[in-house]
Homo-oligomer: A and B are copies of this chain.
Amino acid sequence: MCMAYELYYWPTIQGRGEFIRLAMEEAGADYRDVARLPARQGQGVPAMLACLDGASVPHAAYAPPVLRDGDLLIGQTPNILLYLGRRLGLAPRAESGWLWLNQLQLTMADWLTEVHDTHHPLSMNQYYAEQKQAALLRSADFRETRLPKFLDYFTQVLLNSRGQYLVGSKLTYGDLSLFQMLAGLRYAFPQAMARLAPRYPALCALHDAVAARPNIARYLRSKRRIPFNEDGIFRHYPELDG
């Protein structure tokens, strides 16, 4: 008997959990999104917070997302994907392959943190409105220098790949994550991304190829896909889009 994977993540945002959800959905894996299930049945956000309590959980994570697979609890998005990649058939088996994929995923994690900091450059304990002036400056820098640099980098990775995906001819969780980065950036910075799009046809093609995969397309149409919103990491504040 195989138990379902359990994902513990905030129930109302895509956030970092979405990178895990996309891998599960593409693979057709059996998983439960625990914090979105009823708290009165021992699930919901209280169950998520309980698994972060280091006083009672030996390997408690610093923050969600957390994946449970039987007795194993795993935190940190790239680490969860490293674990799932092999099991879900979404990563190369050879060490040089999964190391390269992990490296790309870590680079996307850095990129994602920079996206977060466009609207929260000073403190994650304060509201956006309290740090809006700083957010305007950080966002301008992000749009003008950081965003093109990351887009250039992943374009080069695609060019260097021997297949149509980031790591050769077979889809990996890295492609799903890159789709998510591009989808999120289009939501948060529609004008900047529209201006940049003509320079990045390979990235646009990858985005569309992932979105068109049957399991992903079905997921994106479903209620399981939480809409982008202004509580998540990718937020659309028109003033930050320049």
Contact = CB atoms under 8 A, between A and B. Distances in A.
A75 B103 contact: yes
A202 to B, nearest CB: 13
A156 B153 CA distance: 38
Interface string A127-171: 000010010011001000100001001001101100000000000
A125 to B, nearest CB: 6
Interface string A102-129: 1100110110010001000111011000
Contacts of A156: 54-55, 60
B79 A106 contact: yes
Interface in A47-94: 54-55, 58-62, 72, 74-76, 78-79, 82-83
**Copies per complex of this chain:** 2
A55 to B, nearest CB: 7
Nearest to A130: B137
A200 interface: no
A200 to B, nearest CB: 15
Interface of A: 54-55, 58-62, 72, 74-76, 78-79, 82-83, 95-96, 99-100, 102-103, 106-107, 109-110, 113, 117, 121-123, 125-126, 131, 134, 137-138, 141, 145, 150, 153, 156-157, 159-160
Q: List 7 A-B pairs, minimum CB-CB distance, nearest first.
A: A54-B156, A123-B141, A76-B106, A58-B160, A62-B107, A76-B103, A122-B137
